[in-house]
């Protein structure tokens, strides 16, 4: 069943998973409201569902009351699984929910997911043989759990009757695609303008800011060096190899990092690896040993020492505290800026 113009409203259901992202949810549902308002007729009709029909608490702590449990859904055109970026382990892989996702898909419903909702679709087997995406923080985790997936870093992907979205404001771009299908390009542009969204991004655009914007740098050789570092967090390259591949001397690479990033190359690289580790500690239940290896540390003890120097607490405590909060709002001290550990850690590898 494709989403197309009709005399009747397109029925859409939003399945709210615990700790779902309010930002992504709003970015998905509000374009439908605006499309109805601007068109002067009800193009879309929606309802909210959850696993048991009970209120669901978003990642910001706000409870949202659905109208029904997912089991009560009959024939609808589209179901969107709304999860969050607080960690795939927060998404409950309830066999009953997976059954209902498969049931709806088998009866012609377009089934999609926002952010870590892609984990649910993968567990339900709905992404087999499909191109898909997920929020960039959890791409490696999804790939590790489901290595057969054709995973991209695009904003959103529509492959047949299944669609996935990276989350955040990318949900707005995706829903504008569906608004275009139902109400036309002019209406979609009007909805975008309502939300001060001057550029409707194409689905194939990448999620993350480019390195120039992210770090405020313009030097092409420095950008090449940072790109090499970001691409080799699990198996760190030595500085000589990075300099060689970036067509720099050891002295030049040291000077560029000091001048533009206020860090030594080694210290900056360590900061990238520790920032990645922090994301894994907060978003997965992986053993410390595995996280250490994924971030290029030879041993858990080496990793623990470097992490504590950078963030003030050992990684075991980070994982325990964040897990105890259920993925909620952080209460720990703020991370060092620019993805760098404290200067005392720069000499550590």
DSSP SS3 for 345: helix
- CA pair distance 291, 134, nearest whole angstrom: 20
**DSSP string covering 177-236:** HHHHHHH-HHHHHHHHHHTT------TTSBSSPPHHHHHT---HHHHHHHHHHHT-SSSP
- CA pair distance 198, 169, nearest whole angstrom: 13
Neighbours of 330 (CB within 10 A): 12
Give the pLDDT confidence score for residue 62 in this predicted structure. Answer: 96
* Size of the chain in residues: 349
Determine how β-strand 68-69 pairs with β-strand 131-132: unpaired
Q: What is the CATH class of 211-345?
A: mainly alpha
Determine how β-strand 63-64 pairs with β-strand 110-114: unpaired
Give the pLDDT confidence score for residue 144 in this predicted structure. Answer: 84
* Dihedral sign (CA 35, 36, 42, 48): positive
Tens of pLDDT along the chain (349 residues)?
Answer: 467 667 789 999 999 999 999 999 999 999 999 999 999 999 999 999 999 999 999 999 999 999 999 999 998 999 999 998 655 555 557 899 999 999 999 999 999 999 999 999 999 999 999 999 999 888 888 888 899 999 998 999 999 999 999 999 999 999 999 999 999 999 999 999 999 998 898 887 878 777 777 888 889 999 999 999 998 999 999 999 999 999 999 999 999 999 999 999 999 999 999 998 988 887 777 889 999 999 999 999 999 999 999 999 999 998 887 665 554 443 333 333 333 333 333 333 3
317 contacts: CB under 8 Å, gap ≥ 6: none
Fold of 10-194: Rossmann fold (3.40.50)
CB 126 within 8 A of CB 111: yes
> What are the extents of the domains in the chain?
10-194, 211-345
Q: Which tokens hold the place of 57?
A: 């608490």
pTM of the model: 0.72
- CA pair distance 333, 186, nearest whole angstrom: 47
- CA pair distance 152, 149, nearest whole angstrom: 9
């Amino acid at each position: 069943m494709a989403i197309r113009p009709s005399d009747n409203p397109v029925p859409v259901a939003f399945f709210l998973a615990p700790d779902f992202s309010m930002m992504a949810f709003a970015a998905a549902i509000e374009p439908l409201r605006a499309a109805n308002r601007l068109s002067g007729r009800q193009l879309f009709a929606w309802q909210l569902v959850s696993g048991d029909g009970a209120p669901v608490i978003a990642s910001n702590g706000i409870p949202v009351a659905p109208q029904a449990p997912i089991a009560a859904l009959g024939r609808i055109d589209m179901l969107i699984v709304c999860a969050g970026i607080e960690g795939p382990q927060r998404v409950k892989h309830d066999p009953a929910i997976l059954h209902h996702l498969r049931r709806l898909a088998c009866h012609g419903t377009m089934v999609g997911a926002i952010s870590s909702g892609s984990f649910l679709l993968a567990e339900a087997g709905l992404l087999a043989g499909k191109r898909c995406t997920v929020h960039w923080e959890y791409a490696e985790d999804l790939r590790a759990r489901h290595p057969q997936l054709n995973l991209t870093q695009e904003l959103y992907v529509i492959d047949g009757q299944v669609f996935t979205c990276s989350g955040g404001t990318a949900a707005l771009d995706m829903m504008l695609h569906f608004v275009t299908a139902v109400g036309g390009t002019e209406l979609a542009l009007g909805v975008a303008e309502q939300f001060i969204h001057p550029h409707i991004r194409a689905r194939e655009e990448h999620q993350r800011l480019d390195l120039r914007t992210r770090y405020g740098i313009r030097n092409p050789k420095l950008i090449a060096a940072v790109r090499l570092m970001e691409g080799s967090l699990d198996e760190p390259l030595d500085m000589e190899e990075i300099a060689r591949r970036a067509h720099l001397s050891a002295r030049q690479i040291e000077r560029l990092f000091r001048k533009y990033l206020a860090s030594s190359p080694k210290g900056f690289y360590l900061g990238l690896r520790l920032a990645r580790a922090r994301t894994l500690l907060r978003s997965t239940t992986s053993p410390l040993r595995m996280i250490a290896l994924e971030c290029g540390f030879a041993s858990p003890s080496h990793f623990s020492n470097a992490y504590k120097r950078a963030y003030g607490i050992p990684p075991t405590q980070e994982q325990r505290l964040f897990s105890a909060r259920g993925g909620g709002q952080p209460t720990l001290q703020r991370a060092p800026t620019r993805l760098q550990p404290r200067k005392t850690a720069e000499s550590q590898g």
